[in-house]
Amino acid sequence: MQANRISFYLNLTGPSYQLDNTWVGGIQCLDIAKGLVEEGSLDGCIVCVANLTISPCVSKQMQGLGVLSTDEFTRSFSSDASGYVRSEAVVAFYIQRLQDAKRSYGSGYYYEGVKKPIWFIFSGMGSQWNGMGTDLLRIPLFRQSMERLDAVLKPHGVDLFHILTSTDNTLFDNILNSFVGIAACQIPNVNASSRWNIYQRNLVHAIIDFDDWLLFLDNIIKVLVYLHVERHSEVYLPRNIESILIDKRLFMNAMKEKHTSLVDVYYDLDTKVKYIFIPSPKPRSSKWISSSILEDAWGSPLAQTSSAEYHTNNLLSSVFFEEASAHIPANAICIEIAPHGLLQAILKRSLAEKEVVNIPLTLRGVKDGVKFILNSIGKLYLNGLDLNLAPLYPEVQYPVSRGTKPLGHFVDWEHGHEYKLSELEVQ
């Protein structure tokens, strides 16, 4: 079972089996692995050998047989070998072809301080779901960010915690709730990543520079409330829209009776947002890959700054995600930041040849969202990120009270199996 367990942990798909043999079992395993690699059956083999000297009786018997070394030296494959020395060890060999083994000494991805580039992927509409913030609120670091957001939203009559925890299926019929819910899950994740020492990141499909997220959220809520998004959605898109669309003529007549069109709503958004949305737009960073403007137009004034016009175009334009994701380099780590890893299937298909690691921080439908985040953090660590996880835990307040229990009893030896040990007297 140990061989199969190692294969499972390392995600290996080749054959695995265990060989129980005498003191030359390790050499036999190496010989088998060498043969499999030579004949081309496998590209590489992992050979693990373990030896435990639990009972001294075995050593005494081997000494009587004359197979133990008298001078305490093991001289394997030597003409002056005089036996072997028993010892405890767990040894692992990785067997490859010569050309592949020499290649492992190259610069590669993990030598000379080369680090994987980090890319943040921000999913938009469609990633929201009922109760998406319930598990996030269990983590103090995330709750603190959400409480700050809630303080910004309350003056506008928006109940953030209701949006994040409600199970009402009609909650996201209002675009305001969808937008706020998605942003409220993304912002704490970005804030937490900074606290975890995840820097030098690039952005794809982002909606705003998160350095100004509080100012942004405050102003965008003002815009949405000012334009009465909820009221517009009821006027222009009634709840029985499915039945209206059955007859196109009735739908067009309904639109004419209102003496307006849906385009007018967006036009109104464009004119009002420049005064309320971002009063002082900043230059858009080169690390921010736009998915609403094609690369040929990145030099245009519209694409130069994080302005009201840019974000209005972002809301109204098609998403050129395939073109934007082409800028993600090989061997990168893509962290999807959203209430749900909506783009995982697309990322895995489109970036498979680049050997990109795709890790969502949250996912819909998991039993324990906190455990999923911790597993994602573990995957980031296994892929070479040196994370600071102290912010995940409450800060220790000193001095510690006398009633605080020590942690020593949580770490102990497992004595469930008893071994009979004998003592030998050397004469």
* Mean pLDDT, residues 238-249: 47
Please give the Cα distance from 202 to 286 (Å, whole number): 8
Long-range contacts, 370-377 (Cβ 8 Å, 24+): 370/135, 370/138, 370/139, 373/135, 373/136, 373/139, 377/196
E strand or H helix at 201? strand 201-204
Q: Is pLDDT at 235 greater than 80 in this prediction? A: no
In residues, how long is the chain?
Answer: 427
Average pLDDT, the chain: 77
* One-character DSSP codes across 28-80: HHHHHHHHHHHTTS-SEEEEEEEE----HHHHHHHHHHT-B-SSS---TT-TT
Most confident of 28-37, 247-256, 302-311: 28-37
Distance CA 361, CA 369 (A): 9
Q: What is the pLDDT of residues 327-351, one digit of tens each?
A: 888 888 999 998 998 888 888 888 8
Decide: residue 277, CB within 10 A, 0-12 exposed, 13-18 middle, 19+ buried: buried
Q: Count Cβ atoms within 10 A of the Cβ of residue 174 and give its class: 0-12 exposed, 13-18 middle, 19 or more buried.
A: middle
Q: Residue 294: pLDDT above 80? A: yes
E strand segments, 64-154:
89-96, 118-122
What was the pLDDT predicted at 234? 44
> pLDDT, tens digit, for every residue of 47-64?
988 888 777 788 888 888
Tell me how crowded residue 111 is: count the other CB atoms within 10 A of its CB: 10
Express as a percent the part of the chain with pLDDT over 90: 10
Report the distance separating Cα 254 and Cα 232, nearest Å: 14
| 407 CB-contact burial (10 Å; exposed 0-12 / middle 13-18 / buried 19+) | exposed
- Given a cut of 90, whether residue 371 has pLDDT beyond it is yes
User: Quick one: pLDDT at residue 245?
Assistant: 45
CA atoms 121, 362, 201, 187: torsion sign? positive
pLDDT of 161 higher than 50:
yes
Give the whole-number percent of the chain exceeding pLDDT 70: 76
Q: Rounded CA gap, 161 and 149, in Å?
A: 10
What's the confidence (pLDDT) of residue 425?
Answer: 61
CATH superfamily of 118-392: Malonyl-Coenzyme A Acyl Carrier Protein, domain 2 (3.40.366.10)
* Highest CATH level, class, for 1-114: alpha beta
What pLDDT is attached to residue 211?
A: 42
Tell me the Cα Rg of the chain: 31
Q: State residue 288's pLDDT score.
A: 80
Ramachandran angles phi, psi of 336, nearest 5°: -85, 125
The domain locations on the chain are 1-114, 118-392
Q: Is the pTM of this model over 0.75?
A: no
